[in-house]
Structure 1
Amino acid sequence: MAPDASPSSKSGLHPVFTVSNIQHKIHTDESYDSWSEVDAHVLQWIYGTLSDELLLRVLEDESAAREAWVRVENIFNNNKGARAAALEQEFNALHLEHLLSLEAYCQRLRELAGMLKDVDAPVTDRRLVIQLIRGLPKDYDTVASYIN
């Protein structure tokens, strides 16, 4: 018999067939209380990071952390298309004169590109450079031609 083989595998009966009610196994397991305590802490972390509006949409009695996380994930995934459209509009409309400096302008373009990637609408480097040039005022035509 292999070192990790059990007597039930020797006889051909898998241990799963010996359990008629999984609830008895879970609630009598010594580690259940420990798992339940850790899960409650993680659930509180999740709830503690949500806005009041979002918390009201996610909060449910007798919820495990994984279930709460999936509810949050579904809310964000359902909003992905609308969020991508709003970010695209802001990205395309951004111009240097909307910000205080060239550095701030470049940083905001990078931030928007990162946020677009997060909603599955990535911006290519080429498109980022094109938008950078498009948003520069006429005073920067010489610089734009070098970048281009």
Structure 2
Amino acid sequence: MADKSEPKPTTFHLVYTVTNIQQRLRTLDGQKLSYHSWVKLFKLHAIGFDVLQHIDGSPAPEVASTEYPAWKKIDAIVLQWIYGTISDKLFDQVLVDESTSYEAWKRGENMFMNNKGSRAATLQYELTNLTLAAMPSLEA
């Protein structure tokens, strides 16, 4: 019969095995790698390393709970993943003191998605007003 006073072995979270996220994820710059592609790749890693709840809006544990310190450490690593896989230009726009990874995730999303409607309207206008005479060739 096991002694109940023995401490449970601590489990080692998978996120601690990632030593260099830049080797696993490409850098989001908005040109060579699109935001949507980066999100797909990032989410694949978040699922694989069991940290998706840090970027999907799941509530954090209460600060007073026993799970909070471990959650906070893992969240800091996910936040480092976000900061480590975006370009310097985007980094300055996403970086905020005392941020959670979800808050940084949402700031990045807002940067790319806030102008979606106006961009779609602009493209629709360009397509509607496109004439064959304006094209350099039939293939274009």
Indicate the TM-score class for this superposition, using the shorter chain for normalisation.
Answer: 0.3 to 0.5
Please say which structure displays the higher CA radius of gyration.
1
Q: TM-score, normalised by structure 1?
A: 0.40
Q: TM-score, normalised by structure 2?
A: 0.42
Higher relative CO (Cα under 8 Å, sequence separation at least 6) belongs to 2
